[in-house]
């Protein structure tokens, strides 16, 4: 599979507009503090479907037609996604529309999933779109790719200016429900806008400069439920932390092994900061509706500056305590206070060395996105240009975790051969 050649033909590329014009009164969507501070690049997600219907041009055209029609319908509810960014403060909800691209591939779906290739996955999106900024300024682009076996994939790129992972899965599942059950009545999404986290002076994000590195390399490590259970047993036997979560366990072992790899390559342990992203919706006071769209994510940080803190049980304990303190801190925060806190923290991050950021998309319902042809058989992301990043996704069984890690090439080479990590995780196993 290492020599797999993908033959991709573009069938169509068009703009999908809301089926009903957005009325004048919500024509401007004001960006919140977290929207403004988010980088302008696209956050991608890729879902594969094992459609058993006979393949052919009729099937491609019919599925594409259905998806486009229901996308047009769902944009009536999620109308800001069809607009344009104005500066870094608002979205003009002018019904510009969403770009929808259709590809046909001469390969079978099994060819892609038998041994996932990071470069090939990137081809299931419009060229150079994932993680990057689209000069046209569209807030959402969709790409449907059809394989010659009848399977297909849906790749979506959401502007980070209006979407975090929670927003992405809300949009995706509402669109899927509308496709699967025509005429279904859906809840109107709750638009966070600036009222939830009011911005102060205009803030222009320069992007996560602290994540820029040389020769970024992405790898996928998969932790089965059994291996996660073994890790939990190892931690509980030597720690005061009871019943650690999947995310705590996997984040800790990955960070431990990353610290070891960095130490091997640099010759010594340098102070390092782990940034752990948290969905704020259920944590702020008062809590936000679970169907809130926009960015509602911030993070707590762990500083590791000595060898003893690299032990797995110590890392889990530090993470548990850091999360507890962060949740207590959130109770005292009011909307108008967020701007200065976020701006100061962001500036400090860009001037701090040896950072690693971990984002968990676990428990978000990406695997529930059934458009009427079954649930996804695999959900993934393409390779990333941002070094020292970890993105965690559920495996299809809902209990395992797939970790997508991006590091500088030399550090990744060391991590890939770490016996401790490979005892618990498989490196890019087959999806089939």
b/e code 365-377 from CB counts within 10 Å (16+ = b): ebbebbbebebbb
In whole angstroms, what is the distance from residue 132 CA to residue 373 CA? Answer: 30
Residues taking part in catalysis:
160, 370
Other Cβ atoms closer than 10 A to 103: 24
SS3 338: helix
In whole angstroms, what is the distance from residue 132 CA to residue 327 CA? Answer: 32
Phi (first) and psi of residue 88, to 5 degrees: -130, 25
SS3 38: coil
Question: Is residue 64 within 8 Å of residue 125, measured between CB atoms?
Answer: no
b/e code 395-408 from CB counts within 10 Å (16+ = b): beeeebbbbbbbbb
In whole angstroms, what is the distance from residue 219 CA to residue 361 CA? Answer: 17
Please give the C-alpha separations between residue 115 and each of 2, 11, 79, 314, 373, in angstroms, as whole numbers. Answer: 8, 26, 38, 35, 24
Question: Is residue 387 within 8 Å of residue 258, measured between CB atoms?
Answer: no
In whole angstroms, what is the distance from residue 280 CA to residue 192 CA? Answer: 12
């Amino acid at each position: 599979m290492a020599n797999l050649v993908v033959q991709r033909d573009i069938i169509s590329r068009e703009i999908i507009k809301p089926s009903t014009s957005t009325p004048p009164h919500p024509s401007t969507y004001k960006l919140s503090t977290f929207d403004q501070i988010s980088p302008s690049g696209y956050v991608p997600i890729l879902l594969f479907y094992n459609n058993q219907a006979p393949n052919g041009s009729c099937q491609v055209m019919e599925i594409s037609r259905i998806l486009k029609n229901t996308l047009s319908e769902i944009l009536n509810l999620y109308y800001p996604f069809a607009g344009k960014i104005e500066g870094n403060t608002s979205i003009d909800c002018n019904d510009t529309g969403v770009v929808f691209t259709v590809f046909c591939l001469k390969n079978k779906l099994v060819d892609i999933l038998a041994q996932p290739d990071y470069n090939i996955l990137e081809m299931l999106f419009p060229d150079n779109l994932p993680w990057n900024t689209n000069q046209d300024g569209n807030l959402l682009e969709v790409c449907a790719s059809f394989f010659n076996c009848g399977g297909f994939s849906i790749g979506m790129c959401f502007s980070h200016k209006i979407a975090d992972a929670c927003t992405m899965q809300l949009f995706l599942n509402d669109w899927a429900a509308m496709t699967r059950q025509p005429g279904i009545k859906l809840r109107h999404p709750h638009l966070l806008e600036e009222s939830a986290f009011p911005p102060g002076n205009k803030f222009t994000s320069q992007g996560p400069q602290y994540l820029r590195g040389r020769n970024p390399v992405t790898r996928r490590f998969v932790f089965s439920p059994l291996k996660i259970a073994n890790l939990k047993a190892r931690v509980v036997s030597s720690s005061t932390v009871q019943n650690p979560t999947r995310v705590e366990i996997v984040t800790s072992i990955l960070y431990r092994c990353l610290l070891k790899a960095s130490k091997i390559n640099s010759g010594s342990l340098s102070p390092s900061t782990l940034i752990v992203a948290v969905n704020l919706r259920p944590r702020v006071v008062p809590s936000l509706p679970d169907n809130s769209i926009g960015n509602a994510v911030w993070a707590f940080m762990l500083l590791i500056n000595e060898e003893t803190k690299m032990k797995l049980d110590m890392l889990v304990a530090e993470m548990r305590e850091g999360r507890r303190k962060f949740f207590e801190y959130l109770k005292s925060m009011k909307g108008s206070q967020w701007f200065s806190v976020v701006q100061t923290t962001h500036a400090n991050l860009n001037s701090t060395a040896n950072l690693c950021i971990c984002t968990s998309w676990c428990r978000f319902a990406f695997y529930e996105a059934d458009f009427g042809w079954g649930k996804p058989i695999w959900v993934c992301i393409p390779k990333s240009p941002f070094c020292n990043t970890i993105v965690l996704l559920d495996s299809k069984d809902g209990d395992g975790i797939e970790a997508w890690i991006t590091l500088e090439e030399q550090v990744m080479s060391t991590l890939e051969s770490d016996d401790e990590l490979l005892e618990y995780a498989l490196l890019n196993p087959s999806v089939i």
